[in-house]
Amino acid sequence: MNPNPSAPAQAPLEGFGNDPWWLIGGKVVVVFAFLVVTVLLTMWIERRVIGRMQLRVGPNRAGPFGLLQGLADGVKLALKEDIVPRQVDKVVFVLAPVMSAVPAFISFAIIPFGPEVSIFGERTALQLTDLPVAVLLVLAMSSLGIYGVVLAGWSSMSPYSLLGGLRSSAQMISYEIAMGLSFVAVFMFAGSMSTSEIVAAQHDKWFVILLLPSFIVYVITMMGESNRIPFDLPEGEGELVGGFHTEYSSLKFAMFFLAEYINLATLSALATTLFLGGWRAPFPISTVWAGANSGWWPILWFLAKVFLFIFFFIWLRGTLPRVRYDQLMKLGWKVLMPFSLGWILLVATIRALRNDGYDMRQIVIYAAVAAAVVLLATVVWEMIRGGEDEKEIVPGAAEPGGGPDPSAGGFPVPPMDAPHYHGRGGKPAGASIATPPEEVTSGTH
């Protein structure tokens, strides 16, 4: 039953999969073409926007306004020589890019573009498919995509690639748990994990208003899941050269590149579906125009929201520096996860009390006061500790009360008063050439 009589009819969950074969095949082709075009367009937007932020022009040669620059880059990558190092595990080395790209395409299958429409006389939803646990499919596919990254680093037989793959696996574990926790409150309010039913549950008010803390957590975790600045530690050029794809070239590298940008589009579309009403028109348009949420117009609202999120990603890349790895792990494990668990308990308590007939105004006030007290206590605790997590004792370093401890482990550190020899003649540092070595006493520099 449609919860809003004025809203367009939503396709029932049982109706998916009953379309004719030609319609299902057409949807697959359209979704694939949409993702490829979105990648090309996102690359152009990113380079132009960051160019403007850095007072540069950006791509403006290939095609009008440089719109064909992404296509030119793809052709260039396809025509480049495919170099495979000798020592690699060739089977895993070749399969890793495929394992990273294919799940990225599958994740978009459950994203609704619009309501039911008529295509050549067939009534069908503007969505490839839907499942009772559709949102969990996205989490599962993102986990499988990490296997491609880890196996790419392992099969490359390179320490830098291996470190990039390990970083990516640790980052995925840290942020996918918090991302899954941010979905729980949405499931509570929608009463379903189906993406089409979650959109239908937002017919009167978007979940970004009701569940703002969950939305904030999701935005932070989707940046960590996409491996982009400021969380692009698996590709840290300063210490890992190129990260897990250091040894890749030609089409294999292009598949990793494609997977990253498709994940960007998928995460943006999922945020639109779960928190921004999906394909529904924004507030002023939906109230003024009765037909804004019917027919083919919802595709326009959906695309506008998705590209707004993509612009947000690009804006962060051009603004924020890369964080340290310990800061990345601390944010995921010590901040996002405890906060998400506390928020889930709070939402569940509020809904249970509301079902029992309690005054919601009082409940919200008490919840806000409790959240403020917890937040204030956390800030005070961090100030009292004085950043003890940042103070680490380096093995072999000098202690405040004496010299270095040679047995502390780590790299061997020479005594501070020993002569430092260098050069061909083995002269101590600072000694004159005319001075015999035996006249240079220990400790003089």
* Predicted local confidence at residue 303, as pLDDT: 92
* Mean pLDDT to the nearest integer, 173-183: 87
* Mean pLDDT to the nearest integer, 371-388: 68
- Which residue type occupies 150? V
Residue 273: band (very low, low, confident or very high) from pLDDT cuts 50, 70, 90: very high
* Predicted local confidence at residue 274, as pLDDT: 92
Higher per-residue pLDDT: 269 or 437:
269
Quick one: 405 exposed, middle or buried, by C-beta within 10 A (0-12, 13-18, 19+)? middle
Contacts for 205 with CB less than 8 Å, ≥ 6 apart:
none
Cis peptide before 230 (omega within 30 of 0): yes
**Greatest C-alpha distance within the chain:** 101
Lowest-pLDDT choice from 162-171, 196-205, 420-429: 420-429
* Predicted local confidence at residue 289, as pLDDT: 79
What pTM value is reported for the model? 0.77
Q: Which two tokens stand for residue 35?
A: 């993702």
Tell me if 84 sits within 8 A of 11, measured CB to CB: no
* Mean pLDDT to the nearest integer, 389-412: 49
**Alpha carbon distances (Å) from 312 to 58, 268, 271, 282, 288:** 18, 10, 12, 18, 28
The tens digit of pLDDT for each residue in 84-118 reads: 887 788 888 888 888 888 888 888 888 998 888 88
* Mean pLDDT to the nearest integer, 312-330: 83
* Mean pLDDT to the nearest integer, 391-416: 50
- Percentage of the chain exceeding pLDDT 70: 79
H-helix or E-strand containing 222?
Answer: helix 212-225
Tell me phi and psi for residue 49, to 5 degrees.
-65, -45
Residue 396: band (very low, low, confident or very high) from pLDDT cuts 50, 70, 90: very low
Lowest-pLDDT choice from 65-69, 105-109, 209-213, 368-372: 368-372
Higher per-residue pLDDT: 151 or 234:
151
pLDDT beyond 50 at 424 = no
Residue whose structure tokens are 């083995």: 426
- Percentage of the chain exceeding pLDDT 90: 8
Buried b vs exposed e over 47-64: b needs ≥16 C-beta within 10 Å?
Answer: bbbbbeeeeeebbeeeee
